């Protein structure tokens, strides 16, 4: 949504729960090629939400191209074995408007974000033709932590469901704890 907050306008994702609680994420990476950086202010903060025991990182569209911002960070967390590090999220969720011309990049980057972050990656992409004549093919998909596609919608409008396996995710993280060797950094 376009939301004015003070003097700035943001491309804002709203996270609303059934009890009416509202949280938001302001898109960090503005799409320069369409002049988005001239109309919107860039968000600064990430949002991690917990829903039904899953920790999710919702991001918007072009954020998919920036792996540093999507990086699953090591945080202190309740684990049975205190020597192991917990990760900030289990699922990264991208809500997007990727046109048909960039479908290969969309699929490839979605898989890459899953693999590098030891998390599920879900991308919800639009379909149809916009007011500028750009075509959007959809290609919404869910990938597991190995980059394997669990479900992908074909071109056009559709609905799909998939069950994410927490046990398989945790087993993979324990078996292949690449996050423990990641570089420490902070974003400015």
- Parse the chain into domains and list their residue ranges: 48-181
* Cα dihedral 91, 155, 160, 3 sign: positive
Nearest-angstrom CA–CA distance, 125 and 136: 8
In the 8-state DSSP scheme, what is residue 146? T
Residue 85 — pLDDT band, cuts 50, 70, 90?
A: low
- The arithmetic mean of pLDDT across residues 7-12, rounded, is 96
pLDDT at 183 over 70: yes
Tokens for 15, please give them. 């996270």
Conformational region of residue 111, where left means phi above 0, alpha means psi within -120 to 50, and beta covers everything else: alpha
The CATH-assigned architecture of domain 48-181 is 4-Layer Sandwich (3.60)
Question: Is the CB of residue 127 less than 8 Å from the CB of residue 83?
Answer: no
pLDDT at 79 over 70: no
Question: Is the CB of residue 136 less than 8 Å from the CB of residue 126?
Answer: yes
- Which of these, 140, 133, 134, lies nearest to 156 by C-alpha position? 140
Residue 155 — pLDDT band, cuts 50, 70, 90?
A: confident
**In b/e form, how buried is each residue of 2-22, taking b as 16+ CB within 10 angstroms?**
eeeeeeeebbbbeeeeeeeee
- Convert the pLDDT of each residue in 95-153 to its tens digit: 999 999 999 999 999 999 999 999 999 999 999 999 989 999 899 999 999 999 999 99
Cα 110 from chain centroid (whole Å): 8
CA angle at 142 for the pair 139 and 148, rounded to the nearest 5°: 105
Q: pTM for the complete prediction?
A: 0.91
């Amino acid at each position: 949504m376009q939301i004015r907050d003070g003097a700035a306008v943001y491309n804002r994702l709203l996270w609303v729960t059934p009890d009416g609680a509202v949280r938001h994420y302001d898109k960090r990476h503005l799409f320069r090629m369409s002049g988005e950086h001239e109309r919107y202010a860039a968000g600064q903060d990430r949002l991690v939400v917990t829903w039904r025991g899953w920790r999710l990182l919702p991001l918007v569209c072009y954020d998919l191209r920036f792996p540093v911002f999507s990086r699953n960070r090591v945080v202190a967390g309740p684990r049975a074995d205190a020597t192991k590090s917990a990760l900030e999220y289990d699922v990264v969720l991208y809500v997007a408007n990727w046109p048909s011309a960039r479908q290969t990049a969309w699929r490839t980057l979605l898989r890459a974000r899953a693999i590098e972050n030891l998390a599920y990656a879900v991308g919800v992409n639009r379909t149809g033709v916009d007011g500028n004549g750009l075509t959007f093919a959809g290609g919404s998909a869910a990938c597991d932590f190995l980059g394997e596609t669990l479900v992908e919608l074909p071109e056009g409008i559709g609905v799909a469901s998939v069950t994410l396996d927490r046990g398989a995710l945790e087993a993979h993280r324990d078996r292949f704890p690449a996050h423990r060797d990641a570089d420490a950094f902070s974003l400015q």
